[in-house]
Amino acid sequence: MTLPIPREDAFLVTVQLKDVPLHGLFLDERRIQTGFLPAGTANIYDLRTSPVADSISAFHHVSFYLPRIALREVTEREAIPDTDGFDHNPGVGVKDPVLHSLARAMLACFRKPDLANRLFVDHVTIAATAHAVKSYACRHPPAGPCAHALSPLEAKRAREQIANIWMAR
């Protein structure tokens, strides 16, 4: 069993580089359903849940650390809604050839860190973050009457148009 990962407002995306036949997972001290993880499987862990892994089988993976601020930057750049989580079961993961390729591209940097180009590492990490957000981020609209609220600029324009209609009468 691993030690719990300290709680923080961030996510961890792991990409399996070899098959993981058996493993266990606990989130908030509750056992989560797990399954066979073939090489190329991505798992996303919400670090607000203090994940603990039971590494029954040997494993080899690359992890991408995604702090909340990095997610916000990506959602702003891509003009997509901010996310508070991922629509994903971390116990069984999802086969993701894009994340698998990005993780494998980083291996040479781990083998010879003194030769790793920081710009390359940063770009691969940003690409992994953008892909995870676009592919798996929750897109649930807010509940209740605010679900279709206007932006402040749209509301101002609507008020101006209504005022113009009333003045034309």
pLDDT digits (tens, 9 = 90+) for 48-101: 999 999 988 888 999 999 999 888 888 888 777 778 888 889 999 999 999 999
In a domain, 106, yes or no: yes
Q: How many domains does the chain have?
A: 1
Q: Is 165 within a domain? A: no
Indicate whether 137 belongs to any domain: yes
In-domain check, residue 4: no
Q: Measure Cα distances from 94 to 38, 65, 111, 140 in Å.
A: 9, 18, 26, 20
- Give the separation between CA 92 and CA 83, rounded to whole angstroms: 21
pLDDT of residue 147: 40
Establish if 120 belongs to a structural domain. yes
76 is a domain residue: yes
Domain that holds residue 37: 10-142
- Residue 68 lies inside a defined structural domain of this protein: yes
pTM: 0.77
Query: Which parts of 73-165 are beta strand (E)?
Result: 94-95
What percent of the chain shows pLDDT beyond 90? 57
Q: Is 33 within the bounds of a domain? A: yes
Q: Enter the tokens of residue 117.
A: 């180009």
